[in-house]
């Protein structure tokens, strides 16, 4: 399955990746101290800095985008870092309405608030206003990217008990994977320590330094003790980003769709000399940092001096390779990246300003959090842009792909933005009324034109409706089906439809603000 900015450069394995939520392992005892090489005092200090996170949350309903799904709860882990802050996973506090934290070995829970969140990297910072919570705590220090075969300890509150637990293992692999919470393709470390549900947000330590944050595991017959951690380098990137102005700006994206060049004929066809390797540019996404500098059929051969190999990887440390996007993902929005290309056999060099974050290259966005869906209702017809949340409401992690409408799933998997198409606008449902008789069972249609105007985003739908002076409104979907409403009757019936369905507004607040 081609992805994001790299097209053919990676595929997602058919395994189940789970976020480690909810409510063990060996308790932090003298034996654990011996295994980690820590003194009793240092082990106790680490234990004191690990907290359990209790989150009450209420996610939006993307099929009925004017309302919420209802209150739910989850539990995870976190740890105290400098500045009296608590680091945890974003998925632990996504859609939160109320958050509490409790220190290991204590009964009292303290109210916390989310201070910063980075959903794409699955990290969040919490703040507890009551300073008593931090008395006597030595904050944990963020270390560096671990090495393969480093021994690590995973701390947290996994399911099966209420006490702090620790498991141990080694770092077995460092490479890019899909972050399940956001869908972003980022660096991660695979470890063989047991990571269980509830460990989410807990620190992973090498000695007394945090080298990562536990965040997801692999569940499939034949896989045992396969867990993933967000490496310290990404944690530091998040913390450094918000230090600038208190805002997380995101992980940079170059905006290229590329493919591997493992076939010798492919290398020759695009002008590479013997011994040269690179990645072939298939597309430059509109409004991307690379637009106007890099073009289709260019071959990216180096990034910041790192050679790009024929499989689309770079050597980030001696003997260790990963996806070439690693180079620009280590930077911040506003930084630059040096790109060397071969174009028609000639080598060229560009310095590109990184202005856009991960996600700009998607037609159908990955999971959205903490803000209400965008929608517009006219004559009982509910229009909304397609996002992954909408598809995932068709089932759980095991079957949403099976149950989702094939056309919508195809847009999610393969759709790409263009100058004319920025959003996939769907007619999610029809709120039954006299004005829309005959359309009451209509669901999930992709709207391609309204009153003869091509639809590139939801604003096009709204403008085509509100600017129409004719007798009818004509809505056409991707299959050629047309829904026609009497314009005057639809406008007149609108307020009554909203009242009967207990909907406060005909559009989401983000559209009302425009």
The ranges of the chain with pLDDT < 50 are 1-17, 22-35
Q: What is the pLDDT of residue 225?
A: 73
Could you tell me the sign of the dihedral formed by the alpha carbons of 161, 166, 169, 170, in that order?
positive
Top-tier CATH class for 256-353:
mainly beta
How close are the terminal C-alpha atoms of the chain, in Å? 37
The 10s digit of each residue's pLDDT in 26-48 is: 333 334 444 456 778 888 899 99
Please report which helix (H) or strand (E) contains residue 291, including its range: none
Phi-psi region of 480 (alpha: psi -120 to 50; beta: other; left: phi over 0): left
At 282 the three-state DSSP class reads strand
* Residue entry with tokens 């190999």: 309
Return the structure tokens found at 187: 């660096």
At 147 the three-state DSSP class reads coil
Residue 72 φ then ψ, to 5° = -140, 175
Q: Which of 200, 288, 404, 508 is catalytic?
A: 200
Give Cα separations from 486 to 113, 279, 292, 381 (angstroms). 49, 54, 46, 13
Contact 235, 143 (CB under 8 A): no
376-512 folds as N-terminal domain of MutM-like DNA repair proteins (3.20.190)
Contact 287, 309 (CB under 8 A): no
Q: Which of 63, 91, 116, 176 is catalytic?
A: 91
Contact 284, 294 (CB under 8 A): yes
Q: Which of 77, 116, 122, 182 is catalytic?
A: 122
Return the structure tokens found at 368: 């959205």
- Reply yes or no on whether 200 is catalytic: yes
Q: How far apart are CA 416 and CA 414, in angstroms?
A: 7
The 10s digit of each residue's pLDDT in 315-347 is: 999 999 999 999 999 999 999 999 999 999 999
Could you tell me the sign of the dihedral formed by the alpha carbons of 494, 500, 501, 503, in that order?
positive
Q: What is the pLDDT of residue 37?
A: 64
Q: What is the pLDDT of residue 7?
A: 37
Length of the chain equals 514
Give Cα separations from 121 to 108, 178, 186, 218, 281 (angstroms). 30, 10, 8, 18, 26
Contact 481, 448 (CB under 8 A): no
Contact 308, 300 (CB under 8 A): yes
- For domain 4-245, the CATH architecture is Beta Barrel (2.40)
Give domain limits for the chain: 4-245, 256-353, 376-512
Beta pairing partners, 205: 153, 210
């Amino acid at each position: 399955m081609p992805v994001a900015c790299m097209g053919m450069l990676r595929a997602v394995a058919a395994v189940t990746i789970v976020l480690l939520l909810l409510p063990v392992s060996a308790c932090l005892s003298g034996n654990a101290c011996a295994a980690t090489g820590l003194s009793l005092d240092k082990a106790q200090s680490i234990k004191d800095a690990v907290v359990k996170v209790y989150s009450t949350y209420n996610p939006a309903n993307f099929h009925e985008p004017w309302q919420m799904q209802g209150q739910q709860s989850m539990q995870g882990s976190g740890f105290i870092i400098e500045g009296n802050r608590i680091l945890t996973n974003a998925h632990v506090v996504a859609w939160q309405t109320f958050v509490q934290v409790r220190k290991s070995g204590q009964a009292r829970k303290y109210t916390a608030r989310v201070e910063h969140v980075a959903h794409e990297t699955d990290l969040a910072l919490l703040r507890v206003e009551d300073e008593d919570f931090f008395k006597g705590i030595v904050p944990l220090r963020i270390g560096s990217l671990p090495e393969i075969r480093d021994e690590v300890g995973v701390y947290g509150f996994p399911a099966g008990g209420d006490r702090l637990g620790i498991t141990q293992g080694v770092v077995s692999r460092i490479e890019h994977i899909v972050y399940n919470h956001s869908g972003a393709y980022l660096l991660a470390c695979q470890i063989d320590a047991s990571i269980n549900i509830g460990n989410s947000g807990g620190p992973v330590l090498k000695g007394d330094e945090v080298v990562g944050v536990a965040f997801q595991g692999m569940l499939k017959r034949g896989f045992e003790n396969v867990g993933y951690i967000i490496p310290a380098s990404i944690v530091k990137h998040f913390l450094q980003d918000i230090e600038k102005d208190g805002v997380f700006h995101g992980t940079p994206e170059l905006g290229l769709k590329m493919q591997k060049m493992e076939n010798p004929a492919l290398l020759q066809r695009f002008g590479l000399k013997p011994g040269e390797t690179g990645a072939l540019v298939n597309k430059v996404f509109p409004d991307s940092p690379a637009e106007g500098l890099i073009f289709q059929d260019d071959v990216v051969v180096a990034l910041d001096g790192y050679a790009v190999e024929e499989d689309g990887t770079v050597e980030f440390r001696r003997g260790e390779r990963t996806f070439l996007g690693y180079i620009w993902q280590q930077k911040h929005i506003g930084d630059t990246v040096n790109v060397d290309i071969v174009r028609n056999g000639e080598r060229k060099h560009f310095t590109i300003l990184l202005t856009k974050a991960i996600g700009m290259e998607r037609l159908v966005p990955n999971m959205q959090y903490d803000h209400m869906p965008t929608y517009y209702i006219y004559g009982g017809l509910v229009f909304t842009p397609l996002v992954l949340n909408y598809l995932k409401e068709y089932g759980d992690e095991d079957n949403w792909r099976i149950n989702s409408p094939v056309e919508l799933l195809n847009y999610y998997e393969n759709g790409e933005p263009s100058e004319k198409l920025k959003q996939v606008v769907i007619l999610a449902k029809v709120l039954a009324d006299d004005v829309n008789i005959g359309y009451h069972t209509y669901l999930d249609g992709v709207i391609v034109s309204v009153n003869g105007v091509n639809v590139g985003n939801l604003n096009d739908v709204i403008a085509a409706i509100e600017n129409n002076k004719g007798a009818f409104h004509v809505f056409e979907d991707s299959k050629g089906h047309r829904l026609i409403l009497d314009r005057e009757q639809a406008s007149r019936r609108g307020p009554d439809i909203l009242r009967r369905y207990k909907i406060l507004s005909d559009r989401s607040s983000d559209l009302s603000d425009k």
